[in-house]
Structure 1
């Protein structure tokens, strides 16, 4: 498991009708770990039933390009999904007032910017703007060409309107676009080159539609990057069937019974795999598969990555074959 630390909410700002930004500082006053653009942290919250839960939130603002630079505060933004959601965001909106202490993880980055000077296209849907703030700042600091497209339901729903990044973004409002009869492709007008990288964050259906537009425009799948923190409607899978995991390192075979995740079976055998969301969203537990065919139940891997069957997310995915040989 990831190490945790205690932070205190030092500032709270309402960024839109249902988005609040929280500034976090360490309780002990020590500098916070360095982070880079696209990184997120786990926040320990309570879910809609009042049970302990963990939710992921992107760090927003200007990330330092110097790992040695002292970082005194982090900033996250939380969209209140109300009691109809999973509960964590609503709990933070109600409880995360200045002076309140929270338990969080160190930063982790599954949405990292590419190296080099290839142009970037950033597309944010709603609260998906949060990682784009740091990405845009970093790309600007590196003198890399980029465009930022920010989609929101209405002007009132726009967060970070006073940010220089949002001020310069190509903002597209659903209520205006629908009235004008514009398609998503028409709303996404930008230059695409063979070397362009696409970064997209927002609701799952939105990201799927955006990716489809850019695949049609010739962007290679390996240049498409997405961030997903909330589960999308999933396809129906077969009932959980038991399977075996063989460890390449020592040849041990671990039995995974039906109703038990691979991560739990591994943990029971004394093998820790880093996990975070436990829903196949974040990719923290992604593990190389050397033999066998996984049954992918995650929402992290792209279709072409799934087809390679060379890795899987043991927090939720299972096996189509009786045994998987893992590089553990």
Structure 2
């Protein structure tokens, strides 16, 4: 026992003391390199975030600034619930958000499964490049492309209709067709990078699973159903949780630039971000901040709720 005690003391004496991060010179150099980024984070993120939290409860005045403006309580929130457009805006926002939340990932999964069956490497690279290209294009360019197709005077669509002996139409006056147009543009923009995410998951599946399934006589559809799709469920759940704030938000670029802010299309294209933008154009910064404040709270609740549902159904696929 005495020898064992001596051996334990010798082992403990050999263990070097851990240096403090602040006392370690190399660590101090790294911390000094972090200072400019930390200052920028404070100036351009935390301070504006604090101002955006305070502004909805103040009567904002340019001369007094955010912190000097008087407090008015919840008066900036009352106009939101009294607005006659609130029902239309919230209906469009929630319906488009719910639709895009599922139609986008489903299309991405289908494309990923199709790409997974492509055996020729050169063809696979070509397909991936072509599909990912729209993701790197500006939404302004996308809006000009759609306008070149849908323009009532010079659009390709009306040129085709005239060639077929049909009368030209003005798409910007036909409300029922715009949910389809926005869905096509949204899927086209995101299908490249979205499908690559699921394709990477498919590439990580052990090939012996498919070989064993083929030996057992499983068809291609059975291999897809029982091997490929179950491996995509975790990513689908993750994208579902992260995309849940879209139920109360949405892409401003898509709903503002593609319909070109045509007032007659507001019943089917006006969502909360575009509604907020028009409020800011009128100079109502405090009212706009109030809408953004409520939107942030709802987004947080949606993320927590969706993660709670996923954790109850499939705990291993939850985000936290």
TM-score class, shorter: under 0.3
Task: Name the structure with the higher helix share.
Answer: 2
**Which protein, 1 or 2, shows the higher relative CO under an 8 Å CA cutoff with sep ≥ 6?**
2
Q: TM-score, normalised by structure 2?
A: 0.21
Q: TM-score, normalised by structure 1?
A: 0.21
The structure with the larger Rg is 2
